[in-house]
Structure 1
Amino acid sequence: MAPKILFVLTSHNKLGNLDKPTGWYLPELAHPYHVLHSKADITVASPAGGESPLDPASIEASKDDTVSQDFLKNNESVWKTTQKLDSFLGKANDFDAIFYVGGHGPMFDLVDSPTSQQLIKEFWEAGKIVSAVCHAPAVFYDVKLSDGSLLVAGKEVTAFTNEEEEQVGLTKAVPFLPEDALQKASGGKFVKTQPWGEKVVVQGKLITGQNPASATGVGEAIAKALGV
């Protein structure tokens, strides 16, 4: 039987106090989906369920990326028919992995979501793969395990960096910076490569990627961890 993966998307579509749309970032769903959809059974969830907002800027930014453009044309149902995130509480044993797709959206509705934190805790404590790319590893920063410790404490982790956020001009638009939060929560174990370079960090069953360029690598790391 194919392994089962729960993909998590944001339901948030507005960028902080800026009058700009946001959401999930196209290549960060398209590339992992491209790697995994033929090897695993993928279920997609979001906090509100239904259609998850795609960041329009990411369509433009990946206009020359054939994987992203093919996904956009052929896989609309993946993000337009998501299930409600809270319906998966208590169901970690039905899955083999959970994967959070990046974009600025998750910074507003997933990072401090008790539902999301509970779900991550359940997956982790059931021995499942827990993974995320770009801004989405920020969802792990405050996840506490049953013994009260932080999930990422003492573990190497990566995410969208302060320098990358500065280069896209959105440092002030987000509630906090993923690098700062994860550096603190991990006890100084945040790792990164140069801005926009590929960086995937595998710490046992915790898999994180730095930015859009790392999305394929995260998908491949999940496949490898699942043995498919």
Structure 2
Amino acid sequence: MAHREVLFILTSHADMEGSNNKTGVWLGEFTDPYYAFIDAGYHVTLATPLGGEPPIDPLSKMTENLSTSNQRFLKDQDAQDALANTIQLKVINAFDYDIAFVPGGHGPLWDLHDNDDVARILTHFVSASKITGAVCHGPAALLAIEQNIFGYLRNKKITSFTNIEEKLVLRSGLIPYELESRLRAHGVDFSSAILPFMSHVVVDENLVTGQNPLSALGVAKKVIELAQKHYTSVL
């Protein structure tokens, strides 16, 4: 089916450097959007900088974070196999995909923000007016676009995990930079929910971003909505 190929770009980074804490992909920020796309009839490809199985943030596996989609994933051998065998980003041909989606977890702060393959892939998406979604710390990947399109982020309406939220989850001293501050330094028109950890989704043309784990499904739904309009109009 035409215009149904989704590329998930996931982190390969596991360690909160300088501590014993672990990070990686936040499970619900992967599973919520993954099943939204699958159930809407899209084909999803999973890719990481290193290939193979990405680390999953241990906190996102805890009982209080087991959403319906997480529980579905635990019973879905095909999805588990796909996650255990992600493709390396360096072999991804961006022309083959209609949508890019970047889940969070703190890992992207280390390995997606300045990754040359992320820059190559997402620059293609910008140039080709394709749709990109990113959640929580996933918008760190947008920083890579600046390698090829200087000033891309200036005045873009974007959200991400906020500085306040970092302090509340006690991770602000363990990360290389605060994503909200880094995005603001690039001139982003940043916004957030009235209260921390509430869902907040922002749309700027073909770019959809979400603030935190609770925003992941909303971002996916908005991306699907935009894709249906966008790709219908170009047929």
Whether TM-score is above 0.5 comes out as yes
Which stretch shows the higher mean deviation, 156-165 or 108-117?
Answer: 108-117
1: CA distance, partners of 2:94 / 2:66: 37
User: Per-residue deviation at 1:64?
Assistant: 4.3
Return the match for 2:84 from 80, 87, 100: 80
CA distance in 1, matches of 2:75, 2:56: 13
Contact 1:63 1:69 in 2 (8 A): no
Contact 2:116–2:144 (CA under 8 A) maintained in structure 1: no
Cα distance change, pair 84–64 in 1 and its aligned pair in 2 (3 A): closer
Q: Determine the C-alpha separation between the residues in 1 that align with 2:212 and 2:63.
A: 13
Structure-1 separation of matches of 2:188 and 2:31 = 31
Tell me the residue number matched to 1:144.
146
Distance 1:135 1:166 in 2: 14
CA drift of 1:141 comes to 2.5
1:21 and 2:22 are equivalent in the alignment: yes
Structure 1 residues 215 and 222, CA gap change in structure 2 (3 angstroms): same
- Give secondary structure in 2 for the equivalent of 1:227: helix
1:48 and 2:43 aligned? no
Deviations 1:15-65 (A, max 9, x none): 121112211001100100111113211110000101111111101064442
Instruction: Please identify runs of 4+ aligned residues in structure 1 that moved more than 3 A.
Output: 61-64
Give the aligned CA root-mean-square deviation in angstroms.
Answer: 1.6
The answer for unaligned runs of 5 or more in structure 2 is 230-235
**1:192 corresponds to which residue?**
192
Distance 2:175 2:147 in 1: 26
Query: Displacement of 1:217 after TM fit?
Result: 0.2
> How many Å apart are 1:178 and its aligned residue?
0.8
Q: Secondary structure at the match of 2:33?
A: helix
- Contact 1:62 1:69 (8 Å CA) reproduced: no
**Counterpart of 1:139 in 2: which secondary structure?**
helix
- Taking structure 1 as the reference length, the TM-score comes to 0.93
**Other-structure match for 2:31:** 30
Contact 1:143 1:150 in 2 (8 A): no
Structure 1 residues 216 and 48: CA distance shift in structure 2, 3 A? same
Identity of aligned residues (%): 36
Letter in 2 for 1:222: V
